[in-house]
Amino acid sequence: MQLGIFAKTFSRPTLDETLDAVIEHGLHCVQFNMACAGLDSLPERIDQGLCRRVRDALAARRIAMAAVSGSFNMIHPDPDRRRDGLARLGELARAAPKMGASIVTLCTGTRDPHDMWRRHPDNHLPQSWHDLKETLSAALETTAMTNVTLAFEPEVANVIDSASKARRLLDEIGSPRLKVVLDGANLFHLGELARMRDVLREAVDLLGQDIVIAHAKDLSQDGQAGHEAAGTGRLDYDLYLGLLDQAGFAGPLILHGFSEAQVAASVAFVREKMTRLDSNRTTR
């Protein structure tokens, strides 16, 4: 696994300063966000010259772009909002390879019209599932010529709120370009923290072959996504990383969910866990 970070963790006036902050922590892998280049996170238009500048700035620092964030509310109750998100996603997908990214990350969304990370009771209706599949199928068609992989993240407040639903979605869509971002801190419904081993094991067992990125943050309670820095909450990192390793995952492990002041401690915490994992593997 390669340790990386959300680039937008660092708020700087320029792209160069943002990337310099990344390497100051000894990190050479990022999940990128177009906000770091002075645009909206999901822009309407992306200049080709900007793509070259981003690619060159990363290459000069030997930073890999693990993915670029392309989140929009894929089941927004307003179909026009979904169509707008699809158009912007297409623009981002065309730009991604020019910047050095082959993966665009997605949020499956919620029926909440104002916040795509907020739970809504209508997320569980059959129509919500239908709308997600319709939007996702359109997204795959819109981005087909770019050959980028689209990776969605199971999250307790979204329509895909469990590993089992994620597996069902993958199977029903059946596209080799649809994959998963797994965040161990986003999987626990109310009352499930006591079942941490079972919940994490089920997620990796069901999704392991399709995980292309893992996220590293933490949680203090179940029933909502985690928002704590890795190492400050209740997620069992030895278990989480061990399960990913057993599944053969060797991709980017991306830190986020913290303030810049917490970066150094979280980097040290996760690196220590990764070192321990490597040591255990060699002695098995």
Band of residue 279 on the pLDDT scale cut at 50, 70, 90: confident
What are the domain boundaries of the chain?
Answer: 2-283
Percent of the chain, pLDDT > 70?
99
- For position 283, what pLDDT does the model report? 65
How do the residues of the chain divide into helix, strand and coil, expressed in percent and rounded to 5?
A: 50, 15, 35
Dihedral angle sign, alpha carbons of residues 231, 257, 53, 83: positive
Question: Model pTM greater than 0.85?
Answer: yes
Question: For residue range 229-254, what is the model confidence (pLDDT) as tens digits?
Answer: 999 999 999 999 999 999 999 999 99
The pLDDT of residue 261 is above 70: yes
CA distance to 122, 146, 198, per residue, from 55 (Å): 41, 17, 41
The pLDDT of residue 108 is above 70: yes
- For position 159, what pLDDT does the model report? 97
- For position 280, what pLDDT does the model report? 78
The pLDDT of residue 36 is above 90: yes
Nearest residue to 119 (alpha-carbon basis) of 223, 221, 226: 223
Amino acid identity of 5?
A: I
Band of residue 284 on the pLDDT scale cut at 50, 70, 90: low
Band of residue 74 on the pLDDT scale cut at 50, 70, 90: very high
Which residue bears the tokens 């986020």? 256
The pLDDT of residue 281 is above 80: no
CA 195 remoteness from chain centre: 23
Taking the C-alpha atoms of residue 188 and residue 222, their distance in angstroms, rounded to an integer, is 5
Taking the C-alpha atoms of residue 192 and residue 170, their distance in angstroms, rounded to an integer, is 24
Taking the C-alpha atoms of residue 269 and residue 25, their distance in angstroms, rounded to an integer, is 13
Band of residue 184 on the pLDDT scale cut at 50, 70, 90: very high
Q: What is the mean pLDDT of residues 131-158?
A: 97
> What is the overall mean pLDDT for the chain?
96
Nearest residue to 253 (alpha-carbon basis) of 108, 68, 66, 97: 66
CB atoms within 10 A of CB 254: 25
Taking the C-alpha atoms of residue 69 and residue 42, their distance in angstroms, rounded to an integer, is 8
Q: Work out the end-to-end distance of the chain between its first and last CA atoms, rounded to an integer number of angstroms.
A: 18
Helix H or strand E encompassing 252 = strand 252-255
**Residue 184: DSSP 8-state:** G
Taking the C-alpha atoms of residue 114 and residue 258, their distance in angstroms, rounded to an integer, is 23
Q: Do β-strands 103-106 and 252-255 pair in parallel, antiparallel, or remain unpaired?
A: unpaired
Band of residue 115 on the pLDDT scale cut at 50, 70, 90: very high
Taking the C-alpha atoms of residue 73 and residue 223, their distance in angstroms, rounded to an integer, is 20
Question: For residue range 85-97, what is the model confidence (pLDDT) as tens digits?
Answer: 999 999 999 999 9
Tokens of 187: 């999987």
Q: What is the mean pLDDT of residues 23-38?
A: 98
The pLDDT of residue 177 is above 90: yes
Name the 3-class secondary structure at 60: helix
| Fold topology of 2-283 | TIM Barrel (3.20.20)
The pLDDT of residue 16 is above 90: yes
Q: What is the mean pLDDT of residues 32-43?
A: 97
**Dihedral, CA of residue 79, residue 81, residue 85 and residue 88, to nearest 10:** 120
CA atoms within 13 A on the CB side of 194: 2
- For position 278, what pLDDT does the model report? 86
Residue pair 254/6 in contact by the 8 Å Cβ criterion: yes
Q: What is the mean pLDDT of residues 180-206?
A: 97
CA atoms within 13 A on the CB side of 197: 0
CA 146 remoteness from chain centre: 20
